[in-house]
Structures are given as structure tokens and as C-alpha cells.
Structure 1
Amino acid sequence: MTITRVRSRFNCSTALKAIALISTGVIGFSFTASSVMAQDFQTVAASGRIQGADGKVISGATVTVTSNAQGFSRTITTGRDGSYRIPQLPSGTYTFTIAAAGFDTFTDPTVSLSQNSSGNAFTLVPVGAASSGDIVIVDKRVAVADFEGTTTGAVINVADIANRVPVGRDLNSIIQLTPGVSQGDSAFGALPSIGGASVGENQYFVNGLNVTNFSTFLGANTVPFEFYDSVEVKDGGYQAEYGRSTGGFINATTRSGSNDFHAGLVTTYSPNGLRSKSPDTLTADNDKDYSSDLRSDFYISGPIIKDHLFFYGLYEARDVKTGNGGTIDRNATYVTSSTKSPFFAGKVDAVITDGQRLEFTYFRTKGVTTDVTNVYDSTTNRIGDYLSTQDNETGGGNYVARYTGQFTKWFTFSAAYGKSQDRTNAISAIPDISYVEDDRGDPSQVPGSNPDTTIETTRIRASSIAPMPMFT
């Protein structure tokens, strides 16, 4: 009996519906709007306090932050308590300029803002204090904790950690640098277990786009290492809008263009000759296992219109091969898998005016892995006659667009829409010929022992709404 099957087709997608994020501050009797907290998947809120050398807070001071990479700036004045808060800033390095009547202007061009470090307090000195001949306290900046945040976890700068630590060039290796994270069972892909939860209880986002595997909930769409800028792992204390996970929330951001042109080529090679060999077991013959991984990433970035429009592009060429002898059996098979499907991605950032920003991210993970099966004799460790060839389709196209606008000190609007696609198809490697599987030698496929032997075609589409964090 020959059973013909058409493998299940999964075409999973998720949509980030456009959601307005609006918040108004409370206006007191002094007619001064209170500070507003605003932060979403990929931006930060710069906050802190301005004070004088005598420790007294300075109200009405002007705080201007300017992006060192893209040139845009945002300005705000401090409240009655000397505090400031500037929401919806992309992570990066900024120049802070603090000016107040009766005090020397202070400038610091090296302020780094990230999801876990965005608070800074500044001390100003009176005008002329440096030339008075007295001993004075000089103006300075001190990084402070943002006590409005409750999230625990870690934010990892991918490029920085890769240059200093010998870490695997994949997302799972980066996540496992976070305290409280361990590697899960290899049977499920050695994915991270966060806070003791299972590997299937995590959520994965890239630039605010949900890229979690929607058919198995194990892992996410594979994104090349060079495309990541930072990875934030939230393992506790995060708000409900980051939910649908009882393990951890992985929030990754990608690289962006700047006012300077950059281009480069990164090649990594893991030859089979340098990998360790697993010993044979009673059920597995590992003598002939094979693994070779060659990847070349070419990237280019820069301004299209200086200070206003930027691009970042990445192309990855791959040559990945694996071989596995399977179980110890005189009639065992040897499967050789190979893929040369490339990956490409791009990001465009547009700063319309200061405080008005558009972003668009696209990355394509679509690929085909070819499996060639031969007879394998584990007694002699010899690969025998050819049996079959099968193509496995994976991945898909992913995009997300975002608009962010700050209209007043107390009114910020943000909306995003995106789509993530993934597929898992086993198809024939011969054009126009259906995939055929011969199960005559498999006892489980004997009629009567397995009632589910029908020919079936399944197409599944899953979609969900991923709300953006609301203001408080």
C-alpha cells in the first residue's frame, strides 16, 4: 500500500493594529502640566532632575537632547520640582544641553540612553563661580535610577557584547546571558527557559513586531545576528501590555542608519573539522554526523537626506550543511540537509520635524532546506544508495511601520502596524510532481492500526492584536 500525503501548510501571520496612545497630564492651580511617562517596545523616556550646586532644584531650566547619530533634537523645560521627562526617544547616544537663568550652560555629548538606563541628574553652577577664586562644585552629570520602572531583566547591546565576550552568534545565546535564564531541553531546540518557565512560554518581538512562532510557540523567526542592535529580556515586573507570556518577554531592536555612511562585510565559518563529536549511544550512531556553517553578511547604512531620512540595509549569504546517521539499525537512513537561501533586511527612519518620526522595518526569512536521504549501514558506517529528496520551505516576509509624534509636553501619539509570516511546508523537490511517502515498511501505517491515513491538505492562518503600551 502506498500512501500519498500533502503535508500541512502553515501560513501564520500577526498584525499590529494601529493603536493611538494618548495621555494628558494633570494641570494644577499653577497651570503647569505634570510629567508624562511614555515608553513602548523600542523607545525610551529620558528623565531626571536639574539642581544647583547648593542642592536646590532649578525650575524653568531648558533641557535639550540631540541625537549624535541622526541629528534631531527635543527640548523641554523643568517643572517646579526641577524634574524633566522626554518620552519616545530611540535608544542611542545623545548630547544633553542644560541652560538656566543665572547658571552656566552645561553640555555633555556622551549620554547613552537605553531601556534600562535613561535617568540622569545634572548639577549647574552659578555664572562666574569658576572665576571667583572660591572653591566651588563644578557642574556635573550623575546617572540615576528611574524609580517609575518596575521591570526586572537585562538590556544587552549586541555589538558591544560580541566584541568583548565569546558568545554564540544567535539570539538564544544572547538571551542566556541574562540572570535567571537557562537553556531548555535540546529536544525543543535548546531554547531559553526564563524564570523557571517552559521554553514555550516566552514572547519575541523585533521593533515592536510579534515574531513568535505561532504554530508551536517555540522560539521566533530567525533574524541574522548582525541585524540586532540591542536585546531586552524582561523576566519580571513588566506591565500587562507586554503579556501573553508567563516566562519572559524578549524585546529586540535592530540597527538604523545615521548621518555617517557605513559599510562592512562580516564572514563567519564553522567548519565540520573543528566541531566536537558526540559519542555513540545504544540507539544513536554519531560517527558520521556532519555540520558546516558559512555565512557572509554585507551591510550598508547612511543618510538619504541628512538629519531627516536614513537607511540601513543587510544581505546575508548562507551555505549551511548538516548530516545525521539516525538510529543504529542495519536498515537505517542517512539524511543530508543543506540550504543556501539568503536573508535580507532593511530599515528606513524619517524625522519629519523634531518630535515627528516615521519608521519602517522589513526582513525576509523565507528559505528552502533540501533533505537528501540515503541508505546507511551503521555496522560499517557506510552511506549507501540514494533513496529520496525532499524540500522544506520555512520563513516568510515580515514588516512593521510606526509613527510617533509629540505635539505638546503632555500629548504624544504613537501608532504601529505590522505583519509577520512563517511557513512550514514539506514539498517535492521535483517540479510539478507531488510529494509521495512510502510507509509500507512502517507497522504504524498498516491499515487498521492507524485510522488517520487520509490525504489531507491544511491551511492555517493565525492572527492576533498586539497592543502597544498605554501611557500612565
Structure 2
Amino acid sequence: MYFKKPVLVVFFVLILAVPLLSAQTVSGTLIGRITDQTGGAIPGATVTATEQSTQAQRSTVTDEEGNYRIPFAPLGEYVLKFSMPGFKTVAHSNVEVRLNTTVTVDAQLAVAEREEIVTVTAEPPAVNTTSGELKFSYNAQQIEDKPVMGRNMLSLAADVPGFQTNPVSGQDNPTASSGSSVQINGTGTRAATFQTDGVNNDDSSENQARQKVNLSAIREFQVLRNSFAAEFGRGAGAVILVQTKSGTNSFHGDAYWYTQNNILNANSYFGNLAGAKKEAIHRHLYGFTLGGPVIKDKLFFFQSMEQAKDKGASLRTVDILLPEERSFDPAATN
């Protein structure tokens, strides 16, 4: 009884701390500087960022140097509105916030003779001047367009500069001491670390991705190759970040079914050589995603399901000892 209150206090502290710890790897950051027409800083200006698919808003004010910063911005496309009494309001649209990325959007406000809003539709420059991280990303559309064998999310890393294959097979097997198939810059099979929605997704002993994610549910897949921040310190070779999709104000989703059948396959070379029948292959991989609003602008849902069914038989070539070779006497095999 004496420990009930301290335990409850620690519990709630941990609950409150989780969003602060994980948000760094599931979001982006908006920064910039607001000036007048002479280049002078405008302190106290209001900056409002509105995410277009959910209408979620974040706001801040500029400091004495006219700088602003909006950290932990959820991924999405934003409209940034810059306002200050006595100046024309400026709005920047098509501002895309991507995973683990800092986007710089500056604004220049002109003196207003009457209330007026100036809309700027040009996107910010794609070159990131705020971080030296070497990273490679796929967005949802790129993932959908890319053929991926077996729909294994780790196969996306194969096109990342610095990736190398392992001459020994068997990686990504939690029952074997084999490590991960993601090897970057010659660091080996156990040097990568994995995070899904900001939560560590490593096998504690082998540095394998503990849980795969349905490709159709991934909003962004990012591989950090070098010079990453201290928050990713556990990775010696690469850090793989996976951010899943979420619900929006509109219903969206997809359904799919992939199948393999031996009717459509040719026999293998060794199968023909042995006069054997084709392998019996009946593989089905199907799933769906669905997201949408529960309460518009306030509460959303997203659901994903994928299942594989693999029935059939496979042809294997093995060596069999002849009867005269089944002896402990070495002379019997001469």
C-alpha cells in the first residue's frame, strides 16, 4: 500500500514520456525566418501550419530574430500561413513534410494598406541544408510502383547506395544466428537497426527486423546510411525507419491478390533431366488496407491485413549412398 502512489506517478510519467521519445522518428520539422521588405526580422509573427488531409493545425510565433520552429510535425502536405498585424498575410501551399526531415520555408511580409492574403504555391527547395544525414527514402507511391519479390519490405533496401548482398543465404531467420539481409557500406549482417512508427523493431540478439510491415500500409520507408543523429545510435551500419499510413478525412484503401500456379510455370532444368513432373505450386498472397474518419478533423482509423497461403510440393536434388557405400569400412568405398 505504501508504494501505490509512487508507482502510479512513475507509470504516468512514462506514459507521458513515450510520445516525446518516439516523435523524433515519426515526424518532420518546419523551420524558417520571417522578414519585412527591407530584410529586417519580424518578431512576434504568427505561423500556422495546417495539414491538408486531416486539417490538424500547429502554430507558433517568431522569436526576436524572426525565426520560427515547428517540431514533431506529422507527415503530410501543409499550408503555412504567416501573419502579423499591419502586414499582408502570406500563405505557402504544397509544403510536404517527410519522415525525419527538416523543411525550411521563409516568408517576406509586405506592409498592408488593407487586409490581404498573398498565396505562394511554389514548393520549398528539395536540397536539405539543415542536416548532413545520408539517407534514401521511398514514399507510398514509389513503393506501390516498385516490383518487390514476396512483398518483403526489406527488399526495398536493395536499391540503396552502399547496399551489398551476402554470399551466404539464411538471413532474416529468427531461428538461426544469421543477422539481417540489410547490409550497408560493408558493415555486416548485424549492424542495421530497425524502427517502425518510432518504436524499436529489432530482434535483441541478431539485429533483425522483428516484425515486417505490409507494403500497402507504409507511408514512407527510409534508410539512413551515415552521419545520422545520436537518437539512432544503436545502428552501426544503417538505420531503417518505417512510417505507416494513417486515417484522413476521406476514405481510402486498396485490396490485392497475387497468385502463383505451376500451370503457368515451366519445368526446371533438373526436373526435365530427371523426367520428373513440375513442382506443385499453389501460392496465394492477399490483403487490404482501409482508412478514414471516425469524427471529421478529430479522430481517424486505419486498418491493414495481409495473409499468405502456400500449398504444394517442391523438387529437391539430394545425394543418396549406394548400398555398397553404406559401410563403416573405408575400404568399401574404394
CA offset at residue 77 of structure 1? Answer: 1.1
Give the superposition deviation at 1:277: 7.1
Give CA-to-partner distance per residue, 1:351-378, whole Å, 9 cap, x none. xxxxxxxxxxxxxxxxxxxxxxxxxxxx
Partners in 2 of 1:63 and 1:294 — Cα distance? 50
Match of 1:100 in 2: 84
TM-aligned CA deviation for residue 51 of structure 1? 3.0
- Number of paired residues? 293
Partner of 1:262: 252
Q: Describe the superposition over 1:34-74 as per-residue Cα deviations: whole angstroms up to 9, x where unpaired.
A: xxxx9612121211222344444433221100111222211
Task: Please tell me whether the aligned partners of residues 195 and 242 of structure 2 are also in contact (alpha carbons under 8 angstroms).
Answer: yes
- In structure 2, the CA distance between the partners of 1:64 and 1:206, relative to structure 1 (3 Å rule), is same
The question of 1:309 aligning with 2:299 is answered: yes
Question: Which residue number in structure 2 is paired with residue 209 of structure 1?
Answer: 199
TM, length-normalised to structure 2? 0.74
> Map of 1:379-398 to 2, 5 A cutoff?
none
Q: Which amino acid aligns with 1:66?
A: T
What aligned pairs does 1:456-467 form with structure 2 within 5 A after superposition? none
Counterpart-to-counterpart distance in 1, 2:134 and 2:286: 35
- Write 1 or 2 for the structure with the bigger share of strand: 1
Task: After TM superposition, give the deviation of residue 328 of structure 1 in Å.
Answer: 2.5
Check conservation: 2:94, 2:123, Cα contact below 8 A.
no
Specify whether residues 110 and 273 from structure 1 end up closer, same or farther in structure 2 by C-alpha distance, changes over 3 A only: farther
Q: How does 1:123-134 map to 2 (within 5 A)?
A: 123-127=107-111
Separation in 2, partners of 1:237, 1:64 = 31
1:177 aligned onto 2:159: yes
Contact 2:268–2:278 (Cα < 8 Å) also in 1? no
- Matched residues in 2 for 1:298 and 1:109: separation? 32
Measured after TM superposition, the shift of residue 140 of structure 1 is 6.0
2:43 is aligned to: 59
- C-alpha displacement of 1:300: 1.9
Residues 322 and 224 (structure 1), Cα distance of their counterparts in 2 relative to 1, 3 Å cut: farther
Encode CA deviations 1:319-356: one digit per residue, 9 max, x unaligned.
2246443342358xxxxxxxxxxxxxxxxxxxxxxxxx
Query: Which of 277, 294, 308 is 2:284 aligned to?
Result: 294
Cα displacement string for residues 4-42 of structure 1 (whole angstroms, at most 9, x for unaligned residues): xxxxxxxxxxxxx7583899xxxxxxxxxxxxxx96121
Q: Does 1:225 align with 2:220?
A: no
Residue aligned with 1:176, SS? helix
Offset of 1:145 from its aligned partner?
A: 5.1
Aligned pairs for 1:370-381 within 5 A:
none
- Tell whether 2:228 aligns with 1:238: yes
Specify the code of the residue in structure 2 equivalent to 1:203. T
CA-CA distance at 1:217 after TM superposition: 3.3
Report how far residue 204 of structure 1 moved. Answer: 1.4
Q: Does residue 141 of structure 2 align to residue 160 of structure 1?
A: yes
Q: Aligned pair 1:20/2:17, yes or no? A: yes
Is the Cα contact below 8 Å between 2:25 and 2:197 reproduced in 1?
A: yes
Contact 1:268–1:296 (CA under 8 A) maintained in structure 2:
yes
Amino acid at match of 2:305: Y
Alignment CA distance shift 1:139-1:275 (3 Å): closer
The answer to whether the Cα contact below 8 Å between 1:200 and 1:219 also exists between their aligned partners in 2 is no
Query: Cα distance, 1:95 vs. partner?
Result: 1.6
TM-aligned CA deviation for residue 149 of structure 1: 2.7
Aligned-pair CA distance for 1:102: 3.7
SS for the counterpart of 1:320 is: strand
Q: Does the C-alpha gap of structure 1 residues 280 and 84 become closer, same or farther in structure 2, counting only changes over 3 Å? A: farther
State the TM-score, normalizing by the size of structure 1. 0.54
Q: Say if 2:97 is the partner of 1:113.
A: yes
Which ranges in structure 2 are unaligned for 5 or more consecutive residues?
Answer: 1-13, 115-119, 173-180, 329-334
Among 58, 61, 64, the alignment partner of 1:77 is 61
Q: CA deviation at 1:288?
A: 5.3
Residues 294, 80 of structure 1: CA spacing in aligned structure 2 closer, same or farther, 3 A cutoff?
A: same
> How far does residue 112 in structure 1 lie from its aligned partner after superposition?
0.6
Structure 2 counterpart of 1:174, one-letter code: L
Specify which of 187, 197, 200 is matched with residue 190 of structure 2: 200
**Identity over aligned pairs, percent:** 25
Over 3 Å counting, the alpha-carbon distance change for 1:216 and 1:290 in structure 2 is farther
For CA contacts below 8 A with separation 6 or more, give which structure has more relative contact order.
1
In 2, the alpha carbon distance for the partners of 1:249 and 1:276 equals: 40
The amino acid across from 1:160 in the alignment is: Q
Distance 1:103 1:184, change over 3 A: farther
Q: Post-superposition shift, 1:236? A: 1.1
Letter in structure 1 aligned against 2:88: D
SS, match of residue 87 in structure 1:
strand
Task: Calculate the aligned-residue CA RMSD, in Å.
Answer: 3.6
Cα distance 1:279–1:189, how it changes in 2: closer, same or farther (>3 A)? farther
Q: How far does the alpha carbon of each residue in 1:178-227 deviate from its partner, in whole angstroms, 9 at most, with x for none?
A: 22223333513382211211122211111122222345434432222122
